[in-house]
Structure 1
Amino acid sequence: MNHDTPLSPRPLRHVPDVQQRVLTSAQLRSHGVTAADTNARCRPGGPWQQLLPGVFLLRPGPATGEERLHAALMYAARCPAPHASVPAQPGAGEPHGPRQYAEAMVTGLAALTLHRFSCAPPLLSLDRVDVLVPRLRRLRSTGCVRIVRTAGLPEPEQVAGLPVAPVPRALADAVADLTDADAVRRLLTEAVRGGHCDPAAVVRELTQARLLGRPHVVDAVDSLVAEGRSVAEERLYLLVREYGLPDPVWNVDLRLPGGPHLGGVDAYWPDQAVALELDTRTPRQDEDAAWSECARRREHMERLGITVVHVTPRKLRESAEQQAAVVRTALTASGDRDPAAYVVVVPR
């Protein structure tokens, strides 16, 4: 076999071009290419090159960003062993497609680039690709690949045919390696403003990664929470307009006449005694205490005959029509309830 010999009589047209160019040593052997043949083709000036241990690019020249991603995943993945015999169908028994990347997914900045974050750097400008694998996998970081370990792999999202960590996990892995406060703030802000995820999901991942002890991360999280509330409020205003709900009074405090403060609500319909609260809390250390206080205020208002509708930013984003129906039902049902106690409404 010389350098110009075709790879195999078994065609690879059933897989994407990049998976024809980037193959592991096991895949090459399944096509009848021996280790000696591979080494010969990878000599200086040869038509192939080794990108990572056991992973080869079947062409000369610099690897593209897509090729680097596939190579990183193929290096880190737990691949099924190829069959020794020739399959009945072209490609049968070859670990192409999602199976070939089992127990590995792109995370960190590369994942955010794949998720189309405008402030994430282009793939080719990244010095390395972060790949998330189970904690007990025996792998080491090498070349352009940094291995990131986790006790439990999240369910990957398929982006451009690649398994990619969900945005909250990818953010946590990216932030873990960033010391630039502005860069961290930009990433977290875009995650919320771009509708990729809710602040609570991001803070949960940052907490699990033990990153909230870093001052520049805490500052960015405070901005993230404020951004998340602003976005959620805009969606709430839009929901009232688009679904024809009566106009409420916005962002008010409720008080008993001459009595105690009942609490602030994001929207209130005085004629129907219906209050709406946006839950933009994040899972910080005081979560239990904050939730207990919210539950206490809600129970107090309901004892006074005020119906409290509880809405999360995620519900507003993913099921606005359903949330509008919940509010409309509460408003309509007010006529069947006993009159609520008189409360004083004060702008916040």
Structure 2
Amino acid sequence: MGSARTPTARRSQRLRVVFPDGVATARRLVAAGIPERTVYNRCRDGGPWRRLLPGVVLLSNGEPSLDQLVRAALLFGGPLTLLTGVEACRRHGLRRGPARSPVPRGRPTISILVPDSRQLRSTGFVEVSRTGRMPPPHVRDGVPLAPIVRACADAVRGLESAAEMTELMSDAVQRGLCTVAALAGELAEGSRRLTATPAEVLRDVADGVRSTAERDAKRLWARSGLPEPWWNAPVHAPDGRLLGKADCWLDDVAMAWEIESSEWHLSPADHDYTVDRAARFTSAGVVYLASKPKKILRSGPEVLEVLRAAYAHAASRPRPAVHAVDPRLR
């Protein structure tokens, strides 16, 4: 017969039941019967536990997982705390924008919202935002999140890269999780000073831009001297059949400019769809051309020359009876 378990083993099992995610406040541990001195002794160098944040303990001495860091941040914030920023956006389903920092090689910044009555400051891996505009929580997998509009706006406020802002906000809009108007309103409501960049990016998103590569293309197009295009416009055949969405559409001459972003974020299946869409456009008489994002950035004058020539060619032939919809009017 095996030996009976020691009191220490039984206590450890009980703690795993009470704190299944392996993170606890020192106060809860004391309430569970662990003397306060013992709690802090176990968090010393070489001890079996680790102190993650003031008053918050990891019940092991290994590297915490991302979920454990999130749990620690919420415990540190206290009642009514919401996860916001990039990590909340990821948990709402957004996949583009700033990358999560690897764990355990580098701790990500976890952003939380707390009521302004809480006297908390940012510390360690936790960025604390005190607010008098606490939104209702959206609970996902037991984690209270700020609504997607608030989480996205909070994330944008902490970004410096226009590319990351574009990817994050356009992903939220493209997935139908929020509107441009809602994002603009939330950014305007924020108490922190903002640079002009988020507003500029949001205007591009409102115009139909759905990626950093398309935003770069839009900025290049502004130097072309050609008519203003529509971005991500649905194009239909004369019989009403959808041919596809044109990244950049010149309605007066039925010309489509594709930004071949497979190197950015398209899957092989998406790339196959892009090839098929090009065939549908061409067969319907649309003048179709494509550019790689790197080409747009590195060889702008050459790309502009091709665009102007393609537009002249499109204007010289009878316009096919295709029908497009300006996405700004939908």
TM-score, normalization: structure 2? 0.57
Match of 1:258 in 2: none
Residues 223-262 of structure 1 mapped to structure 2, 5 A cutoff: 223-227=204-208
The alpha-carbon distance between structure 1 residues 212 and 186, as it changes in their structure 2 partners (threshold 3 A), is farther
Match of 1:171 in 2: 152
Q: Distance in 2 between matches of 1:57 and 1:45?
A: 13
Q: Following TM superposition, by how much is the alpha carbon of 1:121 offset from its aligned partner in structure 2, in angstroms?
A: 1.9
Q: Distance in 2 between matches of 1:3 and 1:169?
A: 47
Match of 1:68 in 2: 69
Q: Verify: 1:121 aligned to 2:99, yes or no.
A: yes
Q: Distance in 2 between matches of 1:46 and 1:3?
A: 18
Which of the numbers 185, 188, 192 marks the counterpart of 2:169?
188
Residues 221-300 of structure 1 mapped to structure 2, 5 A cutoff: 221-227=202-208
Q: Distance in 2 between matches of 1:3 and 1:55?
A: 24
Q: Following TM superposition, by how much is the alpha carbon of 1:172 offset from its aligned partner in structure 2, in angstroms?
A: 1.3
Amino acid paired to 2:133? G
Confirm or deny: 8 A CA contact 2:184 2:199 kept in the other structure.
no
The alpha-carbon distance between structure 1 residues 149 and 212, as it changes in their structure 2 partners (threshold 3 A), is closer
Amino acid paired to 2:165? V
The alpha-carbon distance between structure 1 residues 128 and 26, as it changes in their structure 2 partners (threshold 3 A), is same
The alpha-carbon distance between structure 1 residues 147 and 61, as it changes in their structure 2 partners (threshold 3 A), is same
Residues 125-140 of structure 1 mapped to structure 2, 5 A cutoff: 127-140=108-121
Q: Following TM superposition, by how much is the alpha carbon of 1:152 offset from its aligned partner in structure 2, in angstroms?
A: 1.9
Match of 1:112 in 2: 89
Confirm or deny: 8 A CA contact 1:72 1:145 kept in the other structure.
yes
Q: Verify: 1:205 aligned to 2:182, yes or no.
A: no
Q: Following TM superposition, by how much is the alpha carbon of 1:40 offset from its aligned partner in structure 2, in angstroms?
A: 2.0
Q: String of CA shifts for 1:150-176, please: whole Å, max 9, x gaps.
A: 112111111221001111111111111
The alpha-carbon distance between structure 1 residues 225 and 166, as it changes in their structure 2 partners (threshold 3 A), is same
Identity %: 32
Amino acid paired to 2:92? H
The alpha-carbon distance between structure 1 residues 6 and 24, as it changes in their structure 2 partners (threshold 3 A), is farther
In structure 2, stretches of 5+ residues that fail to align are 1-5, 211-229, 235-239, 243-250, 252-326
Q: String of CA shifts for 1:237-283, please: whole Å, max 9, x gaps.
A: xxx999xxxxxxxx9xxxxxxxxxxxxxxxxxxxxxxxxxxxxxxxx
Confirm or deny: 8 A CA contact 2:157 2:194 kept in the other structure.
no
Q: Secondary structure at the match of 1:7?
A: helix
Confirm or deny: 8 A CA contact 1:132 1:147 kept in the other structure.
yes
TM-score, normalization: structure 1? 0.55
Amino acid paired to 2:39? T
The alpha-carbon distance between structure 1 residues 23 and 3, as it changes in their structure 2 partners (threshold 3 A), is farther
Q: String of CA shifts for 1:81-108, please: whole Å, max 9, x gaps.
A: xxxxxxxxxxxxxxxxxxxxx3101111
Q: Distance in 2 between matches of 1:159 and 1:116?
A: 10
Q: Which moved more, 1:66-75 or 1:148-157?
A: 148-157
Q: Verify: 1:7 aligned to 2:7, yes or no.
A: no
Q: Secondary structure at the match of 1:17?
A: coil
Q: Verify: 1:53 aligned to 2:45, yes or no.
A: no
Residues 314-333 of structure 1 mapped to structure 2, 5 A cutoff: none
Q: Distance in 2 between matches of 1:39 and 1:209?
A: 39
Match of 2:265 in 1: none
Amino acid paired to 1:7? R
Match of 1:323 in 2: none
The alpha-carbon distance between structure 1 residues 219 and 66, as it changes in their structure 2 partners (threshold 3 A), is same
Amino acid paired to 1:121? A
Query: How many residues were matched structurally?
Result: 216
Confirm or deny: 8 A CA contact 1:189 1:224 kept in the other structure.
yes
Q: Following TM superposition, by how much is the alpha carbon of 1:126 offset from its aligned partner in structure 2, in angstroms?
A: 5.2
Q: Following TM superposition, by how much is the alpha carbon of 1:5 offset from its aligned partner in structure 2, in angstroms?
A: 5.0
Q: Distance in 1 between matches of 2:64 and 2:13?
A: 26
Match of 1:94 in 2: none
Q: Following TM superposition, by how much is the alpha carbon of 1:214 offset from its aligned partner in structure 2, in angstroms?
A: 2.3
In structure 1, stretches of 5+ residues that fail to align are 78-101, 235-239, 243-250, 252-312, 317-348
The alpha-carbon distance between structure 1 residues 200 and 228, as it changes in their structure 2 partners (threshold 3 A), is farther
Amino acid paired to 2:147? P
Q: Following TM superposition, by how much is the alpha carbon of 1:227 offset from its aligned partner in structure 2, in angstroms?
A: 2.5
Q: Following TM superposition, by how much is the alpha carbon of 1:196 offset from its aligned partner in structure 2, in angstroms?
A: 1.5
Q: Secondary structure at the match of 1:178?
A: coil
Structure with the greater alpha carbon radius of gyration: 1
Q: Distance in 1 between matches of 2:232 and 2:10?
A: 57
Confirm or deny: 8 A CA contact 2:25 2:55 kept in the other structure.
yes
Q: Distance in 2 between matches of 1:28 and 1:66?
A: 20
Amino acid paired to 1:63? P
Amino acid paired to 1:122? R
Q: Distance in 2 between matches of 1:40 and 1:64?
A: 23
Match of 2:125 in 1: 144
Q: Following TM superposition, by how much is the alpha carbon of 1:76 offset from its aligned partner in structure 2, in angstroms?
A: 0.5
